[in-house]
Amino acid sequence: MKLTCIVTLLLLTTFSSAIGQNNEFPKYVPDATTVCIVPVVNRSAEKHAQFKARQSEAGADELIKEFSMRGFKLVDEAIITRAMSDLKIDMNDTASFNTATLTKIGKSVNADLTVFVVITAVEQHSNVEGNDVNGKAKVTLWLIDNKNPAPLLNGVTKEGVSYGWLGALGTAMIRHAVANGERNLLNDFFKPYPVKKGRG
């Protein structure tokens, strides 16, 4: 009896690990799939409000680009913002960073998928000569199928890095790093969906 239990436990552990390693996502038909991109929230320690806003814009622009150039349909930002207001949801409140809240937003605008990104940290570095500049950004992402209670990506964090050279601005490198972090997080999800001709 003990041996049977041990063998069963080992099999379940192996099976669970395999699922995690495969990291398989459900397949969608982009032209028939609507995506709700919740406004990006920037909780980094960036001191300059203007730079902080631009980092959020870079994150939003990258998400829009990545989904739209593969043929996914996007809900208009104004519709999403109005829905959040009607639902009295404030995404600057960390209590809203959960699957239930994001699913509620997505369903309210009749979207199939909901995407949400939080920028948690940014930094820039340059060498002594100032001719080598790089930016880093940590981004956390949720990707939710609004018809499925289990999130596809549940607050997963990765760091994006961007390298520049003589004349490059550190602030610009950070914006590129935000975009790179998002691409890193969505890379496996996007693998089955090639860029549509004329949209890349």
pLDDT at 103: 98
Per-residue pLDDT band for 1 (boundaries 50, 70, 90) equals very low
- CA distances (Å), 145 to each of 26, 55, 100, 107, 151, in order? 9, 26, 11, 10, 6
The mean pLDDT of 68-89, rounded to a whole number, is 98
Tell whether 197 is covered by a domain.
no
Tell whether 12 is covered by a domain.
no
Tell whether 40 is covered by a domain.
yes
Per-residue pLDDT band for 124 (boundaries 50, 70, 90) equals confident
Per-residue pLDDT band for 169 (boundaries 50, 70, 90) equals low
pLDDT at 25: 95
Kindly report the CATH number assigned to the domain that includes residue 71: 3.40.50.10610
Tell whether 60 is covered by a domain.
yes
| CA 140 to chain CA centroid, nearest Å | 6
Q: What's the pLDDT tens digit per position in 16-48?
A: 322 233 468 999 999 999 999 999 999 999 999
Is 200 a residue whose pLDDT tops 90? Answer: no
Gap between the Cα atoms of 73 and 66, Å rounded: 11
**Count of domains in the chain?**
1
Is 129 a residue whose pLDDT tops 70? Answer: no
pLDDT at 199: 67
The mean pLDDT of 62-84, rounded to a whole number, is 98
End-to-end alpha carbon distance in the chain: 59
Beta pairing partners, 132: 165
87 or 7: which leads in pLDDT: 87
Percent of the chain clearing pLDDT 70 (strictly above):
82
Tell whether 18 is covered by a domain.
no
Nearest Cα neighbor of 141 from 151, 149, 153 is 153
Q: Which domain holds residue 96?
A: 31-190
Q: What's the pLDDT tens digit per position in 141-154?
A: 999 999 998 999 99
Tell whether 178 is covered by a domain.
yes
Tell me the pLDDT of the chain averaged across its residues: 86
Tell whether 108 is covered by a domain.
yes
pLDDT at 7: 33
Tell whether 53 is covered by a domain.
yes
